[in-house]
Structure formats: structure tokens, C-alpha cells
A and B are shown apart, each in its own frame.
Chain A
């Protein structure tokens, strides 16, 4: 018989390394033609950080994203940005790039202030043009850069960011381990076959507080990917070790979900502005995976009326549990 069930799970998760310094650095070089190069040690391992950092640099410099080139994760030329881990790159390296871009932007605005004879505080850059208050000045960033060059001045910015944390008290474990946290709630709908023991995840609704979604489509991709991994964690993945040897050392023996096994995922982006983040952003990488297995296990418990305490929820375990009842 096939039984339906629904489960919910909540999580909070610290962004950045735990109770430790984990600084990121960045350089921004505004070139003669008004385009910019960003140097960052941040490794894009598929999560899209290079796109996000280009967006942050473009937003801060007031130029178009097409005019930003990001050179990332080349230890020969890029400054250290720490590991792509701990859901930290948008938050930590994003801040480093923002500060480096801000530093370069201030140099441009200082020169623009001289040229236009207007206080720098009243000036801004938007779409490659210098603006005075709410009005375009008609002077392009490129012209200011040309002026800088004619005076032998380069427009180089640098920035670094380290999340504010404290060491944890060795007695009580208390302190400030993270500068900010991500929050999420996921709901899973499952169908359990009480004879084959197969759990089919029908739907996952995943609401994630990301501070600010710098790139919403990218955030949705992260959430969908995390949920897919969570399905594997809940239903398939298990490291079996026998006499010190891992029994499933390959993708043919350590099974993860295929595209056919992944449910519909409905991401909901919650934007609760984080004051210490770049444009209010936090991280979403690991949080997307954290509550999924718990939501699925709760849904299975709801469907069967029996709670299981061991993952993965394999068909054998489901059947053995039903029979014991």
C-alpha cells in the first residue's frame, strides 16, 4: 500500500569558519576604458561565486557587469580568499570585493570631484557615468580615468574582510562563533510503499533566509542542488566500512540520486537584510542541504506512524521497521 506523509524541518547555520579568523582579500583595477578587473582567491566550484562577485563589483563601481572581468582562484596572482567552504564566499569574499571596489571608486570620485568642482559626497557612479545627486553629469567614468592617467595616477583598490568572531570559552563553550547565521525551513511530501519499502519524495518546499539574493536564479539553483543531495542523504547514501575498507568506493556502488529520483523543488527566497553582509547577503550553500533529510524522515514518520532513527531510510530498514511494529 502507498502511504502519503508530510514533514517539516528547520535549521540555522553559521556562516564562515567556527570561532576562527577566515579573512578574504580582493583587488580591483579600473582600466583606461572604464572596465574593471577583479582579483580574488575565491574558487568557483560550480556554485556561481565568480558571477556573484562580478555583480558586487559592478554594483559598487557603478559600471555594467559586462565590463567586469573576474580573475579567480589563481594562487599565482590572486589574494587569499580562504576556502570555498563554510557557506562563506558570498558573505566573506563578497565583502572583500565590495570593499576593494569601494576603495577604487573613491579614487575615481575624488578625481571627479576635482574636475567638476563638486563635493565628492554628492557624487556617484551609475552605468559608467558620474552622477550629481539624482542627475547624470554627462561625464563618463572613462574620462575621469583618462584624467587620472594623464597625471600618472592608477585607480587600484584593495579590500579585505574577516568575520567578527570570538574564541569559545574552554569551560562553557560560550562565545561568538559566527558573525551571522542563515535560517531555513523545508517541507517534504513523500509516498511510502509499505511493501517494497520505497520512499518517493514527491515535493520539497524550501524557504531560505539568504539576507539578500545577489543572484536569485543562482540561489534557487543552490537550493535545488542542496535538496537533491538531501534526498541522497535521506534515502541512499551510506558509507559502509569493513575492516577499514570503504565498501562503496565508486559511483556504481555508492549510489546518489539520479535526475529521475529528484523531486519537484519549490525554492522560496527570504530576504532578511544582514547589515554586515555585502548588500545584505549571507550564504546558502550548505544550508540548502541541512534540513532536507530531517524533513523527509519526518514525512516518512507521518506516513507510517513509526519513527525511524537511522539514515538512510533504505527499503530494507523501512520494511524491517514496519514488521517489528
Chain B
């Protein structure tokens, strides 16, 4: 049974941060609750109480700031999936958000929660890693920014301190004309946890790929970029043989990442299928182009 003795629902960030700073015992910030509530129901989470952030309006914005896009940490997957700004400027993130769980989970779950929960298979995290996103954290005393890559430090582990709240996730606007995609391998087509996922961004100048980012999820403690896969693409002309090179490198990369884990035999083979699907569809299709 869910046992929660202390529950706060502040309407301002200042009050929320104050509650966390002054808490004698540990209070946990609550976003969509799609991970925390089931964990509490199973008595897997030892906290004194919750600070519900859902009523803090400033954490719900999606906006452009200079050459960056800023996502409020409380943006739900549904909001990201359907945001015109995200769909046109970062279609791979809209796709990743749209593949999380079910409509009910996407209506409740948030991008900040997805990061803080630090699941190896978090769908939007793989996309944000490929986008080289930064995470802005606030406490009563200070604000700081950390790269998402640095913030994640193991399955279920982050460098977020107990008195801090994720306020925003930011990343540079992609060059117009570049392409990006996201693919997920689940046990079924909906309501599935990723067994592997991949996010891919690249741009082509004068017939050659001059920029490439590849994020891989569920092949290690946290989603991460693959320099090896990026280097396979950079400097090359999009072609069928490049797809095959990318596919073979994906197999080697996953083998390096998983080592002798039991899932390696399957995932080394399966990554070839998703790598081929995503890259060949991005090469051949006129969709998923950044405006």
C-alpha cells in the first residue's frame, strides 16, 4: 500500500525549493509519478514525503532562448510529442516522447522525471543524449548547469542533490535541413519498456555527412553517445553501402558495451536491425527534416 505521510503541492518554485532545503527528513520531488508511485506502492522507496511539482507553471514551458531550445522539466511526454516547436525543430525528440508507455503514461510522465529516474532504457533520455542536452538545476542557494551525460552516473543514479530540482533541459537548435530519427525495440508495439533504443541526428553538406550524433539506450547503465558510430558516418556520402558499414559498426559497438552480459548475444544481432531501419529510412525519406 502507498504510504505517504507528508505531501506538499506548492505553486511556486521558491516554495518548493524551500521545502526541500528545510526538510528534516528526505522529501522527494514528485513530477508525473509514473515511476515514484508504483515504487512507493511496492515499498521500494524510502522517503518521508513528496513535494508535488505539478502546479508550478514555470516548469511547464517549451520555448526558444537564443540558439537553444528549453524544455521545462515538468513537460509531459504528451506535451513534447504534440508540441509544434518540438515536432518541427527536433522531430526525433517528439518521436521518442510518443513511444513512451501508453497514452495514460504519456499524459502524466515528464521529461524531468525520465531523467531523474535514470533508467537505462529511458526513451527521451537517449534522444536528449544525442542532442547533447544540458540540465539546469536549482536549489534555494544557487543555480547550476550540468551536461545530461555527466548528470547520469549509473542505472537509477544521478548527481542531483536532495535539495535540488531539475528546472529545465536545454540543447542547441539543430541546423535546418539536418535529419533526426528515433527507433525503439520493445517486446511489443505499445506499453513496452525499450530493450534497446537509438537516436540519430546528421546533416549533409555538399553530398557528405558533416555532422552526426548517435545515442544508444539500454546497452549500458545509462543511454550514451557512440563516437564509433558517429565516426562511421562523418565524411561519408549517404548510400546503401554506408548503411551496411553503420550496421556492422553498431554490432561491434554493442558487443563492446555489453561484453559478456547474457543479453549480448541477442542485442548484438538486434541492433543491426534497428540501425538499418533508422538509417535507411532517414536516407530515403523526405520526412524527419529539421525546419
Chain A interfacial positions (CB closer than 8 Å to B): 193-198, 236, 255, 257-261, 315-316, 319-320, 323
Contact = CB atoms under 8 A, between A and B. Distances in A.
Contact residues on B (Cβ < 8 Å of other chain), bracket: 10 to 19
8 contacts: A193-B273, A195-B269, A195-B270, A255-B187, A255-B188, A258-B102, A315-B266, A319-B265
B55 to A, nearest CB: 29
Contacts of A320: 265-266
* Interface hub of A196, A197, A261 (most chain B Cβ within 10 A): A196
A260 B270 contact: no
B182 to A, nearest CB: 16
Interface string B187-227: 11111100000000000000000000000000000000000
B190 A196 contact: no
A198 B274 CA distance: 11
Contact of B188 (A260, A316, A323): A260
A257 B269 contact: no
Contacts of A195: 269-270, 272-273, 276
Given A196-B185, A258-B188, A316 B266 contact: yes
Given A195-B276, A196-B274, A323 B189 contact: no
A194 B192 CA distance: 21
Contacts of A198: 185, 273
A261 B190 contact: yes
Interface string B254-273: 00000000000110011011
A259 B273 contact: no
B185 to A, nearest CB: 6
Given A195-B272, A320-B265, 5 more contacts: A197-B269, A258-B191, A261-B190, A316-B266, A323-B269
Contacts of B269: 195-197, 319, 323
A287 B72 CA distance: 52
A259 B189 CA distance: 9
A196 B197 CA distance: 12
* Interface hub of A194, A259, A261 (most chain B Cβ within 10 A): A261
Interface in B235-270: 265-266, 269-270
Contacts of B102: 258
Contact of A236 (B187, B270, B272, B276): B187
A315 B268 CA distance: 13
B274 A260 contact: no
B189 A319 contact: no
B274 to A, nearest CB: 6
B261 to A, nearest CB: 13
* Interface hub of B188, B191, B270, B274 (most chain A Cβ within 10 A): B188
A197 B186 CA distance: 11
B255 to A, nearest CB: 14
A316 B191 CA distance: 19
B190 A197 contact: no
A193 B266 CA distance: 13
Contacts of B272: 195
A214 to B, nearest CB: 34
Contacts of A255: 187-188, 192
A261 B186 CA distance: 11
A236 B102 CA distance: 18
Interface in B147-199: 185, 187-192
Nearest to A322: B269
A194 B266 CA distance: 11
A196 B273 contact: yes
Contacts of A258: 102, 188-191
Contacts of A319: 265-266, 269-270
B270 A196 contact: yes
Given A195-B276, A320-B265, A261 B188 contact: yes
Contacts of A261: 188-190
Contacts of A259: 190
Contacts of B192: 255
A236 B269 CA distance: 20
Contacts of B274: 196
Contacts of B189: 258, 260-261
A257 B188 contact: yes
A323 B251 CA distance: 15
A287 B193 CA distance: 32
